[in-house]
Structure 1
Amino acid sequence: MVEKQDRGLGTPTRRQFLGMGGMALGGMALAACGAGSGDTTTTAAPATTAAPATTAGSGIPMTTKSAVTVGYNNPNRLLRSPLYVGQTLGFFEEVGITDLTINDADDPVPPTLSGDYDIALFDSDVYFDAMEKGVLDADSRMVAVNLGAQPLILIANEGVTAENLAGKTVGGGREGQVNEAICKYMLGELGLDWETDVNFVSLTGGSNDWVQAMLTGQIDATVAFSRHVPLAEADGGSALYSDFFPAPQGGFVMTADKMAEDEGFAAAWCHAYIQAQRWVKTRDNFDELVRILSEEHGIDLPDAFFDPNVYEIDATILSQDLGFDPAEMDIWMDFVAPFGNVPADINDRWRDYVDVSGLHVAQEALGLPANPAADLSSGEEKIANF
């Protein structure tokens, strides 16, 4: 299997960055998760390693859908890797999915609405806002959270430090988006006021474009992602800030029509995905992960993929059990609401847009505790996502 039209997935070399068309200060669209520009469609082949036949009596939740299309618009290769691991190691086939198509369209809303996606990754704030505005059908639901933490990373050019950042130009991502909020937060943590202490500028394009703007001297520092840190370091720069915000930032969403087609699909999907994601998060599997991605699926892996620090950051983002702490979702929504991403009172209603019943079936079948609680209250008994 070969990934097609591979544009901006992962970390290009510095030369590729400098040769990219367009400018980060120009006018391109941006996904809040930091995806590069352009739509990419990837068709994944059926699993190459057969799983043993299973029946309903085995306790494994099954789906009647053998062919499934998933929307996954995050370009990070490690975050995407459970989709490929789940095929090669037979986790998807075990629950009845033998043909998985992965689509990378930047905006998951149109193909979700049209029925092209059986299930799709949504940023939590994007999904809740779409539900509030009636963009998605009222009975759509988020059925699991697979991205359970938000990395906070600020990189800078050579010679720029936290101590001399005052007065310099800092790129905050796209205006009004969550990355801008994150950048302002990091500056505050460094003791700087984004309005008065630095020249804070909004950027367009994807995160690769922001880093290009920095490397070409248009800006001195920028909000970024783990895969960009080695690139900055190779050019003499560094990460001025690196931390995590416990945030259920992204999860899988299904429309009412898709749930009605097979009521057991969410449980089956979660059962397969939990196993694949836990496998990816196990550091001892890294060499085999590289083989699966590069040899089994023909995915080109950038140098940053092999950086242990990048792996640790990205693996931390992946939820251990597709569950989350509702209190952390409340905090995350409070964080993004002032920037217009969601209504200020979204914490009064986001629970109405989540259904973890299928997730609980999958967790029980795998011998895991129910996480979160069925009423989406903040409980103490849960598997740590980090």
Structure 2
Amino acid sequence: MQLPNVESTWTQPAPRPSGLSLARIASFAAWPAAVLIVIHRVFVRAWTGSLTDDFTTVWSATRRFVERVDVYNENYEHVDPHYLYNPGATLLLSPLGLTEHIEVARPLFILLNAAAIIAALALLTRRSGYALSHPVFPALIAVAFLTESVTNTLVFSNINGILLLALVAFLQLFLGARPWAAGIVLGLAIVIKPMFAPLIVLPLMRLEWRTALTAALLPVALNVVAWPLTPGASDYTDKVVPYLGVTRDYANASLAGFSAYFGVPGWLHALMFAVVALALAVAVGGLARFRYSDEWLWAAVTSGVLIAGVCLLSSLGQAYYSMMLLPAVLTVLRPVGTSPMHTAPIWVGVVVCFSPLEWASPHFPHTGAVLDIVLVTFAWSVFVLAVAAWVVSVIVSDNKEAADGARKFPRLQRSEMAREA
């Protein structure tokens, strides 16, 4: 028997390149990370739950709807989670109440929201110009499921994952020249969360009346249909609407909530409100320049600015609503220089919005607790202000280039003007 060559066994030439692309190698790491993080967030964190439980409140209300008991029969003087959905939304959510076993309904609802988030990320990946086989897709899943907004959406078991998919679907349908379908999707989202109503601005800016009217009228129609079907529907206007008009001073990252918590003087709150509203107007108005030339940048970023503005300027803004900024944030995947996401300041806001970090500590308990409250308000404000600043810088740069061109080629410009005349 021939003995192995010791020298060839223990010493070999360097490995030869395999021919695999860097993207393929990145997928080897990205997919296991995505799968493990999703499993952990869904089957460990979400199913375990927390003290904050959005699902039980909704499921209990839908059970009352199915059992023909007054839906809005809660004591709205307490700070417990309350059922705040209108009768139209109650009708849409009523299938949750078809089972009397919450231990069945809640896990299924969590899975549905997780699947909706992944589907939304898939659409955003394709819209960004990448195939789902590219490592960008699993990397986005991994990062998204680590964020505070996705994690708490699943842990609290609320509907925000489905609403994210509705937002992305609306943008896709609207830009894909399917106006009626876009209006229906946006209208359904508005019924569930009226915070989506400002997105009607998008079709109005392109004079797409079919989308705008459908989105505006569908919530009205659904509530008209649902009102006689909802036991105790009048309690919605008698109890819930007045409750919604009161700014709560806990778990509220809006400017009103911030001011209520810290006792901010009225003049200072009004000043902050005016600054954010002005920045919002500048950002939305400036982005409108791209509504035909770069429609995805315009629609994605404008939707993010509008939702951040609603969270800041309305009476209630909660941190996990930051998930609705994802279409805007993912414009970072565009060519360099063609998105406000390619500027440094905006990432201060983005990182704080999505960071799962908690700042409370035994070493500085008060300061840490304050940071946990104010940082989301700060982050949304930075996001809106940074987009407004980018828009202004682009307009100034374009005007400067036009002026420089006019000075360099005055004769050409005059001849072109004469020819046009």
Question: Given the two structures, how large is their TM-score scaled by the length of structure 2?
Answer: 0.26
Question: Given the two structures, how large is their TM-score scaled by the length of structure 1?
Answer: 0.27
Q: Greater helix percent: which structure?
A: 2
Q: Greater strand percent: which structure?
A: 1
Bigger Rg over Cα: 2
- Structure number with greater CO (CA < 8 Å, separation at least 6) is 1
